[in-house]
Amino acid sequence: MQKKPVLSISLLVSDRPDTIQRCLDSLNTIRENITSELIIVNTSHSENVRAIIEKYTDKIVDFEWCDDFSKARNYAMKFATSEWILFIDADEEWNRHFEKEELYGFLSTIALNEITKKIAFALKIKDYGTDIMHMGIPRLFRNDKIKYFFGNVHEELRLKEESLTIIQLNFEIVHYGYAANIMKSKNKIKRNLSLLEKVREIEPDNLRWIYFFIRDGKDVIDYETVTNLVNKYIKKDIGSERFEDNVVDNKYTYAILKEFCNYSMKNGNIK
């Protein structure tokens, strides 16, 4: 009798055969030590991509791209049969410097109870070629059918009817997708801003989408637009020039203000 997998590794792939194989090879260190299944959500129509992914798994599900990353991830979860789900993208690489047994040891010690249903674990995500390390992005969580992703891009993991607790782990993923040459060749800035506009139509007051819109558009959005967004969504009293004691209490407030300072310096308003 085949043992039920402990971990479902979900991989979203597009037309990037150059990165897909690197990503899949990096996952071998996990798959060799944990009873797992690899679920590939294929948005590509490329025969080359299909030939690569078929070498690694027979659990391939095709998904017609619809400008919504969350829908692709939620679709992938429908096919997961394990106790835990790990999400990774084709332009990422699992950091193989961790001991092979570490993730298995972690999963084997975490209780499967009501508490862990309300928790998701974040991994460190390092932008390749930089010192930038993103924290607090949940990628590992229980397969309990009560969590879902929302948002066309920079999608957010949510818990139905309750708030989700995010716990940061030390495991690391290297992300190649925001390297300057890739951003330019794939026109990711234009794509991201377009998708963020879509989700802002649904949740116009959610500061998460305001933050990513300002951050991703730093090279194309004008200073006046950013100023108007900050005044509208961050200041309590729009008529006041002061920011001290005049900002809304939100986890994205200071991240937005940091980006606003960068815009101000670029525009010459801060020396």
Q: What are the pLDDT tens digits along the chain (271 aa)?
A: 456 789 999 999 998 888 999 999 999 989 988 999 999 999 999 999 999 999 999 999 999 999 999 999 999 999 999 999 999 999 999 987 765 568 888 888 887 788 888 999 999 999 998 998 999 999 999 999 999 999 999 999 999 888 899 999 999 999 997 766 565 555 888 999 999 999 999 999 999 999 999 999 988 999 999 999 999 999 888 777 767 788 888 999 999 999 999 888 887 765 4
CA distance 23 to 29: 11
pTM of the model: 0.90
- Name the residue among 3, 118, 12 with its Cα closest to residue 65: 12
Backbone angles phi, psi at 112, to 5 degrees: -95, 85
Where helices occur in the chain by DSSP H, the ranges are 17-26, 28-31, 47-53, 69-77, 101-109, 114-117, 180-185, 188-202, 207-216, 223-233, 253-267
Distance of CA 248 to the CA centre of its chain: 25
CA distance 140 to 29: 16
Please identify which residue in the block is written with the tokens 């095709």: 62
- What are the C-alpha distances in Å from 78 to residues 11, 85, 146? 13, 11, 12
77 contacts 10 by C-beta, under 8 angstroms: yes
Which residues is 2 bridged to in the sheet?
none
CA distance 148 to 152: 13
